[in-house]
Every structure is written in structure tokens, then in C-alpha cells.
């Protein structure tokens, strides 16, 4: 099979590799669409994200969909031919975290495109059968792949406690910020404020559910009194400003990946009894993601701004620098 392999920072080689053999409990999937994530571009350009370091050739890509073409032992052969959205993680079923239902926090997790585990920018992948989620015929391959970033957003809005009538501040109008804005609207938020220094991104946020947009470089966020703040930027200035915008007893959810540490206004957090937490991937989100897309309450296809074939993976990884880009998808088959 073909595989787009990161051989060193800034270099992708299209290689021929053996097709995977599904283990017991696994399915073999012919990949159709793979979304490009910010983590992919970080690995591509820098060879690392924090403590995760690329030390040997790596296949990138974890936002993926395809069709089951083979099954391992103990998997119903009737699953062959199913179109699926791939939840790209393989937790240890015996870890304490997995047994508590928090399998995303499993310390022995094998996650697509997180060194040293290869990802989905190739013709075929394997995954545990329970992590290959069937999608309806009405859902496109691209949308099925983008159920992965949608799941990040679902994990965030669940932790933020968004419900009918909620007021929300979102920092960052990149793909995750856009997803969260759509979800906030779908979950019933009535005021959705999105902050981003880029005017084109602010305009895109308005098209995807924001009720108000702010330029943090010229418009101080201030004490907005919102019910919750979700950071999708990873920028310290955005995080600190967002914390100050939350009402007493409100919630703060950190999603964006930035510096390994930052200084926060701890007295404000204490005095307002704010609840601050983070999001690391997701757990038990795919059924919700598929239902939201199928119902039309979230539009993932509209977020796709560019397609590239597998042979042009390097160009796909650099396409986030194109003005107006929201989400790039690599079409594999």
C-alpha cells in the first residue's frame, strides 16, 4: 500500500508498505478521507509537540474515515463493506482509566499519528472493531473523517456545561474554535462570542454560529460575565483574558495546545470559585458526533476548504498558511 511518511521535519516521502493484517477484534479499513490537524503540521514542521517527539519515520493523520474491507477473528464478517468514521485510539482495556470509562486518559494508549504509532495517511489501517463507527449513507467521507475534531469539541462543551440559554466565550477561530461555535449553537447557547485577531477568521466564525466576534488586539475582552470560556487558541494572553470574562462559579475549559506552562490569575479563580479543567482527546463521543451531523445541526462539509491527493500530502500540511483555510482534507481513495 501507499503511505505518506514523515522521514524528517519538513520532508514527506510516499512509500510502499505492507498492508496491515487485522488482529483478533480488529477491522481492516481502506481509507477514503483524512483531515489535516494542527498536530500534524506541528510534527511535520518541528518534529515534536511538547514531550511527544518523532524519533523514527512516522505516518501522520488521525482524522480519518473509510470502508471496512477485512476483519480479524471474533469480528462479524457482515461488517465488511461498512463505511465508518475512525476513532483513532487503542486504549488498554485493563487500565484503571479505561475501566472507569475514561479510556482517553489510558497511560498505555496507542493513538494514530502520535509517536511512535503510525496514522492514517495511507491506503489501509487497522483499528479495534468498536472504534470503527458506522456512518449513514447521507454522511460524506469528509464529514465522517471530521467526526474526530468534532469529538474534541463535544468533549469541551460537555465539560463547559453548555445548555439552553448559556453564554459562551471562545478564544480562537481555527477549526476547533469553529467546531465549538457550531456545537454551542446546537446545544442551545444564546450568546456565542468568538475572539480571534484574524479578521477573515472572525468572519468565518460568524458564518458558523458566533453571535459576536472580537479582535483581542483592539478590543479588550473585559468582564463579560459569560457562563463559560473555552480556549481553542493555546495563547496565554487569550487564556488570561478569557478567565477574567467568566461569571462567578463559571467554567473554563482549556482545549488549545500552547506552552507547557503559563501564569494564571489564581486569586481570581479562587475568589470567583471558577472551575478550570482541560480536554485531552475524547471518550464516548462518536454516537453524538454522528447524530449531530446526520441531523444537520453541525455542518462539517462546509468547513472543508481544500482537498489534496495522498501524493501531495506535503502541500496539504502547508495549506493552513493559505488565507481563508479552515480545514484541509487528503483524499486517499
Give the tens place of pLDDT for each residue, 286-307: 999 999 999 999 999 999 999 9
Asked if residue 320 lies in contact with residue 328, where contact means CB atoms within 8 angstroms, the answer is yes
**What is d(CA 252, CA 228) in angstroms, rounded to the nearest whole number?**
6
How many whole angstroms from its chain centre is CA 127? 18
d(CA 53, CA 115): 6
| Summary mean pLDDT of the chain | 97
- 147-160 and 175-186 helices, crossing angle to 10°: 60
Higher pLDDT, 50 or 68: 68
Cell, residue 302:
462546509
Is the four-CA dihedral 91, 97, 101, 104 of positive or negative sign? negative
Say what the pLDDT of residue 51 is.
86
Q: How confident is the model at residue 30 (pLDDT cuts 50, 70, 90)?
A: very high
3-class DSSP state for residue 83? strand
pLDDT in tens, 97-149: 999 999 999 999 999 999 999 999 999 999 999 999 999 999 999 999 999 99
Instruction: Please say whether the beta carbons of 330 and 309 come within 8 A.
Output: yes
Q: Does residue 260 have a pLDDT over 90?
A: no
CA separation, residue 293 to residues 10, 63, 302, 325 (Å): 34, 16, 11, 21
Q: How far is CA 237 from CA 197, 201, 243, in A?
A: 12, 18, 10
pLDDT band at 258 (very low <50, low <70, confident <90, very high): confident
Report the alpha-carbon distance of residue 178 to residue 271 in Å, rounded: 31
Confidence at residue 294, expressed as pLDDT on a 0 to 100 scale: 97
**Residue reference for cell 478521507:** 33
List the domains of the chain with CATH numbers: 2-146+300-331 (3.90.180.10), 153-278 (3.40.50.720)
> What is residue 259's predicted lDDT score, i.e. its pLDDT?
79
Answer whether residue 210 shows pLDDT above 90.
yes
Beta strands in the chain (DSSP E): 2-8, 11-16, 26-35, 48-49, 52-53, 58-59, 63-71, 83-86, 89-90, 110-111, 124-128, 132-134, 167-171, 191-195, 212-214, 226-231, 246-254, 275-278, 304-309, 327-331
Closest CA to 65 of 5, 125, 2, 109: 125
Question: Can you give the pLDDT at residue 257?
Answer: 86
For range 201-219, the mean pLDDT = 97
Tally of CB atoms within 10 A around 2: 16
Report the distance separating Cα 102 and Cα 106, nearest Å. 7
State whether residue 321 is helix, strand or coil. helix
CB 119 within 8 A of CB 62: yes
Residue-by-residue DSSP string for 21-82: PPPTTEEEEEEEEEE--HHHHHHHHHSEETTEE--S-EE---EEEEEEEEE-TTS-GGGTT-
pLDDT category at 163 given cuts 50, 70, 90 is very high
| C-alpha 299: how far from chain center | 15
Amino acid at each position: 500500500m501507499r503511505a505518506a511518511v514523515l522521514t524528517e521535519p519538513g520532508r514527506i516521502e510516499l512509500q510502499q508498505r505492507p498492508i496491515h493484517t487485522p488482529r483478533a477484534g480488529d477491522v481492516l479499513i481502506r481509507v477514503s478521507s483524512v483531515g489535516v490537524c494542527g498536530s500534524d503540521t506541528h510534527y511535520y514542521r518541528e518534529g515534536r509537540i511538547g514531550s511527544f517527539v518523532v524519533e523514527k519515520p512516522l505516518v501522520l493523520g488521525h482524522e480519518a474515515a473509510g470502508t471496512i474491507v477485512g476483519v480479524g477473528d471474533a469480528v462479524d464478517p457482515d461488517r465488511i463493506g461498512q463505511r465508518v468514521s475512525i476513532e483513532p485510539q487503542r486504549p488498554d482495556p485493563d487500565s484503571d482509566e479505561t475501566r472507569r470509562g475514561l479510556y482517553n486518559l489510558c497511560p498505555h494508549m496507542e493513538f494514530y499519528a502520535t509517536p511512535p504509532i503510525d496514522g492514517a495517511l495511507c491506503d489501509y489501517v487497522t483499528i479495534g472493531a468498536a472504534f470503527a463507527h458506522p456512518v449513514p449513507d447521507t454522511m460524506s467521507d469528509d464529514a465522517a473523517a471530521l467526526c474526530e475534531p468534532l469529538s474534541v469539541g463535544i468533549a469541551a462543551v460537555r465539560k463547559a456545561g453548555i445548555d439552553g440559554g448559556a453564554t459562551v466565550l471562545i478564544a480562537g477561530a481555527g477549526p476547533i474554535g469553529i467546531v465549538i461555535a457550531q456545537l454551542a449553537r446546537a446545544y442551545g447557547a444564546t450568546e456565542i462570542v468568538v475572539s480571534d485577531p484574524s479578521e477573515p477568521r472572525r468572519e468565518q466564525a460568524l458564518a458558523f454560529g458566533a453571535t459576536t466576534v472580537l479582535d483581542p488586539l483592539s478590543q479588550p475582552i473585559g468582564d463579560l460575565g459569560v457562563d463559560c470560556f473555552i480556549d481553542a487558541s493555546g495563547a496565554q494572553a487569550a487564556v488570561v483574558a478569557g478567565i477574567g470574562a467568566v461569571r462567578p462559579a463559571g467554567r473554563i475549559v482549556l482545549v488549545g495546545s500552547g506552552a507547557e506552562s503559563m501564569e494564571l490569575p489564581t486569586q481570581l479563580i479562587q475568589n470567583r470559585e471558577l472551575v478550570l479543567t482541560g480536554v485531552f482527546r475524547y471518550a464516548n463521543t462518536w454516537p453524538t458526533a454522528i447524530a449531530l451531523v446526520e441531523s444537520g445541526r453541525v455542518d462539517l462539509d462546509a468547513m472543508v476548504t481544500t482537498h489534496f491527493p495522498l501524493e501531495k500530502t506535503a502541500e496539504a500540511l502547508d495549506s493552513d498558511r493559505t488565507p481563508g483555510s479552515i480545514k484541509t482534507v487528503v483524499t486517499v481513495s
